[in-house]
Amino acid sequence: MKQAPALSLARPAALSDADEAALTDLYVRGTPANTLRAYERDLIYITAWADAAFEKPLSWPEAEAVALRFILDHARDLSDANPQDPARATAETLIAAGLRKTLACPAPSTLDRRIASWRAFHRMKNIDSPFDAPLVKQARAKARRAAARPPAPKSARPITREVLEALLEACGPSLRGLRDRALLMTGWASGGRRRSEIVGLRREDVDLAPFDAEGLIWLNMLETKTTMQGKTPRLVLKGRAARTLVAWIDAAEITEGPLFRAISKADRPLPRGLSPDAVYQIIKRRLLLAGLPEDYATPHGLRSGFLTQAALDGAPIQAAMRLSLHRSVAQAQKYYDDVEITENPATDLLG
Specify whether 138 is located in the same domain as 254.
Answer: no
Specify whether 133 is located in the same domain as 173.
Answer: no
**Interacting residues of 195 by C-beta distance below 8 A, sequence separation 6+:** 187, 276, 279, 280, 299
Q: Is the peptide bond before 61 cis (omega within 30 degrees of 0)?
A: yes
* Per-residue buried b or exposed e for 227-254, using 16+ beta carbons within 10 Å of the residue's own CB: eeeeebeebbbeeebbbbbbebbeebeb
When computed from its CA atoms, the radius of gyration of the chain, rounded to whole angstroms, is 24
Specify whether 202 is located in the same domain as 325.
Answer: yes
Residue 248 has what pLDDT?
96
Residue 227 has what pLDDT?
54
Specify whether 198 is located in the same domain as 79.
Answer: no
Domain C-terminal end among 117, 146, 175: 146
- Identify whether 76 is part of a domain: yes
- Identify whether 3 is part of a domain: no
- Identify whether 253 is part of a domain: yes
Per the CB < 8 A criterion, the answer to whether 67 and 131 are in contact is yes
Specify whether 296 is located in the same domain as 185.
Answer: yes
Residue 226 has what pLDDT?
54
Its domain, for residue 286, covers 161-348
Residue 2 has what pLDDT?
46
Specify whether 232 is located in the same domain as 281.
Answer: yes
Is pTM, for the whole model, over 0.75?
no
Specify whether 212 is located in the same domain as 300.
Answer: yes
SS3 62: coil
Spans of the chain, pLDDT less than 50: 1-2, 4-5, 8-13
Residue 272 per-residue DSSP state: E
- Identify whether 156 is part of a domain: no
Specify whether 184 is located in the same domain as 141.
Answer: no
